[in-house]
């Protein structure tokens, strides 16, 4: 539940909640994320399961936003508590969205390697009653961060499968309504320190305009060469209807 100091963990293999109840969190939770480090060069079913999964929770106590991390044992079905350690502390602005960005070997910031060997955190914050905010890429090992220039506050995040681009859903509440919302993108392969990571460019080399939707966007994910199948009812000439994919 939003704003409650607890989090539930469900085992995919066992299809049940670990511990049988929500587990205590360090503060009221505003966003969560998780990361399991695997060998991306090998097929999924040939990759041994790592011994742990890292869980991240963002909390807000009314004055400070924090991000905590805890390691979950992959094979243990019985967990009654999580050992959280704080990674981030931000004053006066809650974290409204959190995404774990896997490492990308060639990623640089001002010419130096950045989030290249370890997973980093994408943190979207909100200020001024939700009307403004910024999104940053944070490297826990060095405490370095860089701005992601989405052009407005973000409420959902996803990364491209090649890990060179981040997509974010612009928050309608911050910009005034659905007409100014949509999915924006930022390139996260290389950046310079003064401006952070730049807005993505389209096929013409121009700044990418937000991808609009007729309705409220409630989820966001990426797939390579994905196929979406949807069956709709289409009227036929004899007055009946048939399914069209």
Euclidean distance between CA atoms 78 and 55, whole angstroms: 16
Alpha-carbon distances, residue 102 vs 54, 84, 113, 241 (angstroms): 12, 21, 14, 47
Instruction: Give the span between the Cα atoms of 36 and 227, in whole angstroms.
Output: 26
The pLDDT tens digits along the chain (245 residues) read 767 899 998 877 777 888 888 999 999 999 999 998 877 677 767 777 788 889 999 999 999 999 999 998 877 667 788 999 999 999 999 999 999 999 999 999 999 999 999 999 999 998 866 678 899 999 999 999 999 999 899 999 999 999 999 999 999 887 777 667 899 999 999 998 778 999 999 888 999 999 988 888 889 988 888 777 777 777 666 666 666 66
């Amino acid at each position: 539940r939003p704003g409650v100091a607890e989090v539930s963990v469900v085992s995919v293999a066992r299809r049940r909640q670990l511990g049988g109840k929500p587990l205590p969190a360090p503060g009221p939770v505003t966003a969560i994320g998780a990361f399991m480090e695997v060998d991306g060069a090998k097929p999924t079913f040939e990759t041994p399961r790592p011994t742990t999964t890292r869980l991240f929770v963002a909390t807000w106590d009314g004055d400070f936003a924090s991000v905590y991390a805890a390691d979950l044992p992959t094979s243990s079905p019985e967990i009654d508590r999580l050992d959280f350690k704080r990674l981030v502390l931000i004053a006066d602005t809650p974290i409204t969205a959190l995404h774990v960005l896997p490492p990308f070997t060639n990623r640089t910031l001002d010419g130096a390697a950045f989030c290249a060997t370890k997973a980093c955190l994408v943190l979207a914050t909100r200020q001024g009653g939700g009307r403004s905010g910024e999104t940053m890429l944070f490297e826990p090992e060095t405490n370095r961060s860089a701005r992601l220039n989405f052009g407005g506050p973000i409420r959902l995040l996803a990364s491209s499968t090649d890990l060179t681009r981040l997509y974010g859903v612009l928050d309608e509440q911050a910009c005034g309504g659905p007409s100014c919302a949509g999915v924006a993108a930022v390139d996260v392969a290389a950046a310079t320190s003064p401006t952070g990571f730049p807005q993505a460019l389209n096929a013409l080399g121009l700044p990418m305009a937000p991808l609009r939707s007729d309705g409220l966007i409630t989820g966001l994910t990426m797939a390579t060469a994905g196929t979406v199948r949807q069956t709709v009812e289409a009227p036929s000439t004899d007055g009946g209807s048939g399914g069209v994919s």
